[in-house]
A and B are shown apart, each in its own frame.
Chain A
Amino acid sequence: MSGFLVGVLIAIGVLIVAALYRVYDGPTVFDRLVAVALVSVNGVVVIVVLGFAFDRAVLFLDIALGYALLAFLLPITLGRYFEAQDAERHRHDGPGGGT
């Protein structure tokens, strides 16, 4: 367990917390989803670096591969879901529905 890798893990943890502020604050749901995509990718990096820090790289890399697959599917699926939901809302409002 090298000290440098622990420092890397702490730094990425700080970046994840910073990105979570955008998840909390983001004005639209797509801002939140972009921030969640960044947190997921940072999570993959954390898992891989943890594997090297614990000297169990093979095990952790398998987990990281599965997590990367899920992190790839999550923004695509939720993006399509919210896109359909917004289209539905615009259809109900109709053109010129505001004011």
Chain B
Amino acid sequence: MIIASTALISLGLVFLAVSALGLLQLPDLYTRAHAVAKSETLGLLLIFAGLFFRPELTADAASRLALVLVFSLIANPTAVHALVRAARRSGALPWTIIDQTTADEELGTVGRLQAAEAAEAAQATEAGQTTDVTDLRDATEPGAPTDPTDTDRRGRP
């Protein structure tokens, strides 16, 4: 009994640690929310399931623990989903491999940055030197069509 409890709680702790690690390491809001909504809920479920096997548990505590478990199981993903929906509606764009400046994008400065980079690259090709900058241009050019919403919003008068 106590061994099953310890194993379940330890496994739950591993999932909580994965969730916190994802919150710190993943690149943008949507991936972080994915870590919080799923891994966190599973870790909580496993820890509460492990607490069901503890010797301190009484009948009263078991019913309340089941109540907290079911409520958290429903409420945590729902809350994160509502939060991400609000972020999406307020204009946060998802992270892509091409443009890694999500923070700049959400501040609306990525259009200016891309324009500055394109101007730099054009100057570099005119001068016919500095392969570094042309490499940068090659890396950023395919990024422009993948972001049609920004260019549309910016191209409109």
Interface residues of A (CB under 8 A from B): 4, 8, 11-12, 15, 18-19, 21-22, 27-28, 30-31, 33-35, 37-38, 41-42, 44-45, 48-49, 51-52, 55, 57-58, 61-62, 64-65, 68-69, 71-72, 74-76, 79-80, 82-83, 85-87, 90, 95-96, 98-99
Contact = CB atoms under 8 A, between A and B. Distances in A.
B44 interface: yes
Interface in B81-112: 82-87, 89-92, 102-103, 106, 108-109, 111-112
A74 to B, nearest CB: 8
Contact of A15 (B6, B16, B87, B90): B16
A95 to B, nearest CB: 5
- The main secondary structure of chain B at its interface with chain A is helix
Given A21-B24, A95-B156, 14 more contacts: A8-B9, A31-B29, A34-B32, A34-B83, A41-B36, A52-B51, A57-B61, A58-B60, A61-B68, A72-B71, A76-B79, A83-B87, A86-B90, A95-B157
Given A8-B9, A18-B20, A34-B32, A45 B87 contact: no
A57 B6 CA distance: 17
Interface of B: 6, 9, 13, 16-17, 19-21, 23-24, 29, 32-33, 36, 40-41, 44, 47-48, 51, 54, 56-58, 60-61, 64-65, 67-68, 71-72, 75-76, 78-80, 82-87, 89-92, 102-103, 106, 108-109, 111-112, 153-154, 156-157
Contacts of A8: 9, 13, 47
Contacts of A51: 61
Contact of B71 (A28, A65, A74, A86): A65
Interface centre among B21, B48, B83 (most CB of A within 10 A): B83
16 contacts: A11-B17, A19-B20, A19-B23, A30-B92, A34-B84, A48-B47, A48-B68, A49-B51, A52-B51, A52-B54, A76-B79, A76-B83, A79-B83, A80-B86, A85-B90, A87-B89
Contacts of B29: 28, 30-31, 34
A2 B47 CA distance: 16
A87 to B, nearest CB: 6
A72 B65 CA distance: 17
B17 A34 contact: no
A71 to B, nearest CB: 8
